[in-house]
């Protein structure tokens, strides 16, 4: 064999060996810092996976054998440095480092979640929009604190209205107030503007602070500490294309007929004189969605799937001019909130109008919403997203994911007690269906108008229109909620009905973004704030943990603020082993100051009861 050929073979086997081993090594570094690794009781942190060590030994052996000294040592050193750099980059890639936590002002650029190109409306006036956003923000904080939406009803969608009304219902049951004062806006940044069927949509990032205090006579231990808090939220507004350019924010006159609009709060925002609906986006920008900064950042879907869904949406909008993603999400949130109202009132009849007959019968037969013993403290819809589009039995089928956070309160006779010691996150998927050949309806049941004739509906549980006699919950005319399920049940539905959805995204994108350490750090911060005090030893533990796992230490103060104000909620993955690892680390965090307080122990017990089915 010639020397040239021998060297070529050595080089070939070296390259092949390195490629083979690197394919086994990269998963090791992808899991560094807790991504699927195993829990170490002795070291107290999450390591990598199995098998990486053998591959590294083999790689070093090949380099020593096939590359002459001292070049083999240099190659090994270069590889080690490269792997360390890769591991560190992986470690700092956490979505927690990208959340614009406002303490005192976020220095992280806001991001858009969509693959669509930015579309700027012809008359887009950024300064004017920012002023309207600020007006809405201050007015809505005041309306929330007073539990009176009459001043803001004309520029919030029906879904946002129902969100507030459901929250007010829960607060009234708990004899609770949320007093907001000292509101200050630091910045309003436009994140994205895009076309959404017949609407234009704009999303802004608002960074602000406020003195926020919950006061409840019934569950004082659910009030939290209160006080000044810094926060960031994403607000989304919609306006119909070709809107008349009226001003709903600084005028008390009807944009349709010019009459003075009375300050009347109700399910319908309509001028009593010309009967024009005011909050449809026909005249001005209206608020359609509020998303917390952490949920917005954690809602990013895989780019390829998101692009496929966006392309399918554009195709549907060409065939159905009335189709709007933001409107669909607004309808879905509205209907879902009626389910939560039914849950609190103990009867599915309170959601009768908004659900199909089949779902209503299913809920009755399986005993949903009949115990009348659960109330939701600090109820929020964290995010609402259209995730799947398909067809089923001659109907268009949409799946919408809804992330809800709340603290469950048990109501027994006249006594109330906290079932959860901290707000928890719940993920749901709701199905909306409408007949394939349906045309744009003249009304919507969520707007208290008949989808068949457009007649005004009274706030009752009657499912027949008092004018035309048609069923208002029929898929012949409009979208109707036909099912509500967990993400696991959604996955099972897809397995049992392959191909039913043309495109389907992950119901909870957090599972794609979060590693064990991300869940753990989030929950550890909630736990350390459970007793209302961050001791020096607890802060030191949190800082040490953050540095060890590669988090931006500047984010930590923001997490302290969120945790102390009750805005940070417990998050858990579906995977049982990951839950157990997270729980163990939370226990260790509680022991950081050599004492587990009663409040911390109650929270640990609550988490164990809710998320773990076996002893840990």
pLDDT in tens, 426-470: 899 999 999 987 777 888 888 888 888 888 887 777 888 888 989
Per residue in 200-229, pLDDT (tens digit) is 999 999 999 898 888 888 887 766 666 788
DSSP string, 159-200: HHHHHHHHHHHHHHHTTEEEEEEEEEEEEEEEEEEEEETTEE
pTM recorded for the entire structure: 0.79
What torsion do the CA atoms of 612, 402, 485, 35 make, to the nearest 10 degrees? -40
For the segment 300-320, the average pLDDT, to the nearest whole number, is 85
Pull the structure tokens for residue 588.
Answer: 């260790």
Q: What domains appear along the chain, each with residue ranges and CATH number?
A: 3-91 (no CATH), 102-298 (3.10.450), 302-510 (3.10.450), 514-611 (no CATH)
Range 551-558 average pLDDT: 76
21: three-class secondary structure by DSSP:
helix
Q: Which of 446, 477, 441, 475 is nearest to 459 (CA)?
A: 446
pLDDT at 20 over 70: no
CA 479 to each of CA 47, 185, 356, 395: distance values in angstroms, whole numbers, following the listed order: 48, 38, 10, 10
Q: SS3 for 233? A: strand
Query: What is the rounded distance in angstroms from the CA atom of residue 519 to the CA atom of residue 571?
Result: 6
The helix (H) or strand (E) run that includes residue 398 is strand 395-412
Question: In which element (H, E) is residue 482 found?
Answer: strand 480-485
Highest mean pLDDT among 29-38, 60-69, 151-160: 151-160
CB 468 within 8 A of CB 450: yes
Paired residues of 513 in beta bridges: none
pLDDT at 57 over 90: no
Q: Are 481 and 355 in contact (CB under 8 A)?
A: yes
Tokens of 557: 């103060």
Distance between CA atoms of 169 and 165, rounded to whole angstroms? Answer: 6
DSSP state of 366: T
- Contact between 52 and 24 under an 8 Å Cβ cutoff? The reply is yes
pLDDT over 70 at 537, yes or no: yes
Distance CA 432, CA 401 (A): 11
Structure tokens at 274: 């010309």
Share in percent of the chain as helix, strand, coil (round to 5)? 40, 20, 35
Q: Per the structure block, which two tokens stand in for 599?
A: 């409040």
pLDDT tens-digit map of 264-276: 767 678 888 898 8
Percent of the chain with pLDDT over 70: 79
pLDDT at residue 292 above 60?
yes
CA-based diameter of the chain, in Å? 99
């Amino acid at each position: 064999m010639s020397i040239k050929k021998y060297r070529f073979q050595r080089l070939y086997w070296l390259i092949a060996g390195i490629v083979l081993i690197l394919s086994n090594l990269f998963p090791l570094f992808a899991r560094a810092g807790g991504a699927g690794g195993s829990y170490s009781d002795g070291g107290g942190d999450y390591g990598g996976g199995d098998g990486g060590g053998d591959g590294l030994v083999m790689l070093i052996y090949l380099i020593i054998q096939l590359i002459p000294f001292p070049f083999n040592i240099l190659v090994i050193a270069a590889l080690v440095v490269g792997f360390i750099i890769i591991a560190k980059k992986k470690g700092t890639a956490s979505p927690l480092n990208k959340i614009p936590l406002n303490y005192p002002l976020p220095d992280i650029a806001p991001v858009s979640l969509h693959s669509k190109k930015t579309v700027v409306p012809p008359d887009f006036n950024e300064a004017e929009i920012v002023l309207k956003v600020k007006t809405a923000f201050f007015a809505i904080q005041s309306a929330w604190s007073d539990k009176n939406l009459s001043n803001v009803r004309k520029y919030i969608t029906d879904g946002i209205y129902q969100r507030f009304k459901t929250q007010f219902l829960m607060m009234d049951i708990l004899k609770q107030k949320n007093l907001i004062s000292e509101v200050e806006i630091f910045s309003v940044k436009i994140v994205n503007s895009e076309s959404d069927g017949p609407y234009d949509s704009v999303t802004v990032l608002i960074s602000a602070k406020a003195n926020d205090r919950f006061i409840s006579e019934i569950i004082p231990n659910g009030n939290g500490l209160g006080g000044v808090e810094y926060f960031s939220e994403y607000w989304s507004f919609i306006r119909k294309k070709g809107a008349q350019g009226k001003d709903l924010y600084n005028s008390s006159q009807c944009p349709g007929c010019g009459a003075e609009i009375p300050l009347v709060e109700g399910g319908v925002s309509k001028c009593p004189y010309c009967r024009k609906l005011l909050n449809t986006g026909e005249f001005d920008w209206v608020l359609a969605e509020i998303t917390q900064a952490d949920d917005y950042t954690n809602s990013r879907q895989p780019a390829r799937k998101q692009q496929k869904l966006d392309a399918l949406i554009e195709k549907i909008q060409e065939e159905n001019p009335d189709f709007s993603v933001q409107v669909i999400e607004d309808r879905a949130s509205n209907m879902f909130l009626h389910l939560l109202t039914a849950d609190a009132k103990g009867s599915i009849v309170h959601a009768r109008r908004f659900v199909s007959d089949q779902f209503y019968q299913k809920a009755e037969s399986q005993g949903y919403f009949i115990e009348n013993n659960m109330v939701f403290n600090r109820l929020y819809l964290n995010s609402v997203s259209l995730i799947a589009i398909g067809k089923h039995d001659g109907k268009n089928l949409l799946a919408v994911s809804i992330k809800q956070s709340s603290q469950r309160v048990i109501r027994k006779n006249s006594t109330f007690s906290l079932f959860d010691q901290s707000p928890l996150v719940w993920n749901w998927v709701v199905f909306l269906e409408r007949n394939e050949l349906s045309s744009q309806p003249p009304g919507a049941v969520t707007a208290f108008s008949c989808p068949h004739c457009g007649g005004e509906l009274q706030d009752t549980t009657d499912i027949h229109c008092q004018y035309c006699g048609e069923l208002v919950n029929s898929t012949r005319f409009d979208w109707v909620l036909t099912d509500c399920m967990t993400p696991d049940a959604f996955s099972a539905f897809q397995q049992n009905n392959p191909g039913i959805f043309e495109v389907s995204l992950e119901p909870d994108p957090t599972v794609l973004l979060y590693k064990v350490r991300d869940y753990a750090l989030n929950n550890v911060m909630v736990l350390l704030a459970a007793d209302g005090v961050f001791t020096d030893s607890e802060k030191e533990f949190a800082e040490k943990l953050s540095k060890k796992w590669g988090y931006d230490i500047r984010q930590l103060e923001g997490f302290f603020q969120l945790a102390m104000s009750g805005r940070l909620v417990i998050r858990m993955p579906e995977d049982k082993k990951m839950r157990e690892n997270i729980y163990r680390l939370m226990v260790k965090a509680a022991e950081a100051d050599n004492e587990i307080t009663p409040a911390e122990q109650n929270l640990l017990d609550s988490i164990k009861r809710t998320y773990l089915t076996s002893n840990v």
